[in-house]
Amino acid sequence: MARFDSRFGTRAAFGALGLALVAAPVASAFATAEGAAALSDEQVTKGRQLFTDNGCNACHTLADANAAGSVGPSFDGNPALDKGHAVNVISNGQGPMPSFSWLGEQDIDLIAAYIVQVKK
């Protein structure tokens, strides 16, 4: 049986245990976010409609929504765009893009998930 008061002492052993316990939830939360379930066909349709109805198509390019705007960044071909960033920018605005916080969390989350799922 291993002793906790060996060469590095009890504090080091408990410190390592604490680090493992703290790191475990972070790793599993990251895996969950990366492995998020795909949107259903109904959700994609609603996300596309929200994208179009709120004028996103006027500034951004997104083939799935037949959007060819040239003011804002293109979503197609942007492998770095993730849902968290999209939610943040839609909620708070950035540069010339205004905040769309009035849409509410649920619609913002759906638009962001839609963009990330359908971008080419």
What digits encode the pLDDT tens for the residues 4-48?
444 444 443 333 333 333 333 333 233 334 446 799 999 999 999
d(CA 65, CA 47) in angstroms, rounded, equals: 9
With a CB cutoff of 8 Å and minimum separation 6, the contacts of 53 are none
10 Å Cβ neighbour count for 49? 14
Domain range enclosing 108: 41-118
Do 48 and 94 sit in the same domain of this protein?
Answer: yes
Do 112 and 70 sit in the same domain of this protein?
Answer: yes
Torsion sign across C-alpha atoms 103, 100, 78, 31 = negative
Do 26 and 50 sit in the same domain of this protein?
Answer: no
Number of domains in the chain: 2
Do 24 and 68 sit in the same domain of this protein?
Answer: no
Q: What is the pTM of this model?
A: 0.70
With bands split at pLDDT 50, 70 and 90, how would you rate the model's confidence at 120?
confident
Do 30 and 76 sit in the same domain of this protein?
Answer: no
Do 25 and 63 sit in the same domain of this protein?
Answer: no
User: Strand, helix or coil at 19?
Assistant: helix
Tokens of 67: 């959007």
Do 66 and 101 sit in the same domain of this protein?
Answer: yes
